[in-house]
C-alpha cells in the first residue's frame, strides 16, 4: 500500500546524485543514490542518468523533480544563473531553470546557486538549498553557519536571507597535501586512534594561534617526523587539525554567542566542533541530509 509519489527531490553534486521520492504530505517514501555526479557526466548524459535512477518509481503522470547542486553549473545539465548575495533564499525557486528531461513524466527544475561580488568574489551551488533548509529547521536563526567539506562554506544567515559568505579550501588542501606533497611521506596510520587525536589537538592549537603562518606551520609536519620522530598518525592528525584550526581562526571574529550550526559529514562536524570549543565557541552539528531535503521542500512550497 505505497503512498503515491507527489514529487522528487534531487541533490545532484559533483561526485554523487541522490534522489528522494516524496508524498503529498511531505513524507519521504524512498531514496536512491548513484555515483553519476556532475564530474562524470556530459550535458547529454543527464536525462538518462535521472531516468535510470527513477526507473522503478511508480509515477502518477507528470511529476515535478526539483534539483539542487552542480547540475545547474555551467558545465552541468543546464546553467541556472546565480542569485547574487545578499539575497533572500526563499526566492530560489524563481531562479530555477527547466531542462528537457526527455520524458513527459519528469518535469525538472534546477535551483540556482548563489554568487557574491561585494566583499569578495564567491560562489556556491547546493549549499544555498541546505541553508534554506536550515532556516526552516531553526526558524529565525541569525548568525554564522559552517559547512565543512572539500570547499567549506561559512555563511552569515539572517532567517532565510544570506548576507555574505566565504569558501575555505580546507578539505581539498588536506587531500592535496596528503596525496601529492612532500608531507605525504610523514602521514599515515589509524584514522581514529589516540595518537592521531593528540596530533590533531596540537595542530588545531597551532592553527588557532598562528593562522597567518599556515605556509610555515605546514612544513613542521615534515620536520616533526624527521627530527622529533612523530608517528605518521600523529602527523596526519596534526595536518588535519592545523588546517581546521587555521580555517576557524580566520572566521572566529564573526562567531557570536550562539552555537554555530555545522552542516557536513558526522566525522568532519565532530572535528570542527572540537576545534570550535578550543576557540571558546560551540558547534551544533545538524543533519546534512535533513537540511537539504528541508531546503528543497521550502523552495517547492515557495513556488
Site map 62..91 versus a second copy, x via CB under 8 A: ------------x-------x---------
Q: How far is the CB of 251 from a second copy (least distance, A)?
A: 8
Q: Does 184 bind a second copy (CB under 8 A)?
A: no
Cell numbers describing residue 278: 578550543
Residues 6 or more apart whose Cβ sits within 8 Å of residue 186: 221, 222, 224, 225, 226, 230, 232, 235
Closest CB to a second copy among residues 82, 272: 82
Which region holds residue 171: left if phi is over 0, alpha if psi is between -120 and 50, else beta? alpha
Q: Does 162 bind a second copy (CB under 8 A)?
A: no
Q: Does 254 bind a second copy (CB under 8 A)?
A: no
Q: Does 247 bind a second copy (CB under 8 A)?
A: yes
Q: Does 226 bind a second copy (CB under 8 A)?
A: yes
Number of H helices, E strands in the chain: 8, 14
Sheet of 283-287, strand order: 87-88, 161-168, 152-158, 142-147, 260-264, 283-287
Bridge partners of residue 284, in order along the sequence: 261
Dist CA 289 CA 31 (whole Å): 11
Residues 6 or more apart whose Cβ sits within 8 Å of residue 203: 237, 238, 239, 240, 241, 242, 243, 245
Identified binder of a second copy from the candidate list 22, 70, 132, 214, rule CB under 8 A? 214
Identified binder of a second copy from the candidate list 250, 270, 278, 290, rule CB under 8 A? 250
Q: How far is the CB of 243 from a second copy (least distance, A)?
A: 7
Identified binder of a second copy from the candidate list 28, 169, 290, 302, rule CB under 8 A? 169
**Closest by alpha carbon to 46, among 19, 28, 22, 20?**
19
Bridge partners of residue 63, in order along the sequence: 106
Q: Does 224 bind a second copy (CB under 8 A)?
A: yes
CB atoms within 10 A of CB 296: 27
Closest CB to a second copy among residues 42, 55: 42
Identified binder of a second copy from the candidate list 115, 132, 134, 281, rule CB under 8 A? 115
Q: Does 170 bind a second copy (CB under 8 A)?
A: yes
Q: How many residues bind a second copy (CB under 8 A)?
A: 43
Closest CB to a second copy among residues 98, 117: 117
**Closest by alpha carbon to 68, among 132, 160, 161?**
132
Query: For strand 17-22 and strand 28-34, is the pairing parallel, antiparallel, or unpaired?
Result: antiparallel
Identified binder of a second copy from the candidate list 36, 220, 297, 300, rule CB under 8 A? 220
Cell numbers describing residue 113: 546557486
Identified binder of a second copy from the candidate list 27, 179, 254, 267, rule CB under 8 A? 179
Identified binder of a second copy from the candidate list 18, 222, 297, 300, rule CB under 8 A? 222
Site of interaction with a second copy (CB under 8 A): 74, 82, 115-117, 120-123, 151, 166-170, 172-173, 176-177, 179-182, 211-216, 218-220, 222-224, 226-228, 243, 246-247, 249-250
Amino acid at each position: 500500500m505505497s503512498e503515491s509519489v507527489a514529487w522528487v527531490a534531487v541533490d545532484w553534486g559533483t561526485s554523487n546524485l541522490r534522489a528522494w521520492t516524496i508524498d503529498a504530505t511531505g513524507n519521504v517514501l524512498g531514496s536512491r543514490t548513484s555515483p553519476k555526479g556532475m564530474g562524470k557526466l556530459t550535458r547529454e548524459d543527464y536525462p538518462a542518468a535521472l531516468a535510470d535512477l527513477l526507473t522503478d518509481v511508480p509515477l502518477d503522470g507528470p511529476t515535478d523533480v526539483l534539483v539542487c547542486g552542480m547540475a545547474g553549473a555551467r558545465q552541468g545539465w543546464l546553467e541556472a544563473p546565480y542569485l547574487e548575495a545578499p539575497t533572500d533564499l526563499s526566492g530560489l525557486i524563481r531562479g530555477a531553470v527547466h531542462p528537457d528531461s526527455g520524458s513527459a513524466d519528469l518535469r525538472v527544475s534546477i535551483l540556482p546557486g548563489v554568487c557574491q561580488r561585494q566583499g569578495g568574489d564567491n560562489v556556491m551551488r547546493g549549499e544555498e538549498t541546505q541553508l534554506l533548509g536550515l532556516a526552516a529547521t531553526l526558524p529565525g536563526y541569525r548568525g554564522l553557519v559552517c559547512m565543512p567539506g572539500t570547499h567549506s562554506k561559512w555563511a552569515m544567515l539572517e532567517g532565510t536571507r544570506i548576507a555574505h559568505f566565504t569558501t575555505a579550501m580546507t578539505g581539498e588542501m588536506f587531500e592535496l597535501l596528503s596525496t601529492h606533497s612532500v608531507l605525504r611521506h610523514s602521514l599515515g596510520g589509524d584514522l581514529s586512534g589516540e595518537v592521531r587525536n593528540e596530533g590533531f589537538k596540537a595542530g588545531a592549537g597551532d592553527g588557532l594561534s598562528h593562522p597567518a603562518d599556515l605556509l610555515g606551520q605546514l612544513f613542521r609536519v615534515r620536520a616533526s617526523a624527521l627530527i622529533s620522530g612523530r608517528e605518521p598518525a600523529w602527523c596526519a592528525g596534526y595536518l588535519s587539525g592545523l588546517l581546521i584550526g587555521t580555517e576557524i581562526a580566520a572566521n572566529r571574529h564573526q562567531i557570536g554567542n550562539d552555537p554555530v550550526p555545522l552542516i557536513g559529514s558526522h566525522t568532519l562536524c565532530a572535528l570542527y566542533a572540537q576545534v570550535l570549543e578550543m576557540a571558546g565557541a560551540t558547534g551544533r552539528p545538524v543533519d546534512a541530509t535533513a537540511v537539504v531535503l528541508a531546503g528543497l521542500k521550502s523552495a517547492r512550497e515557495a513556488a
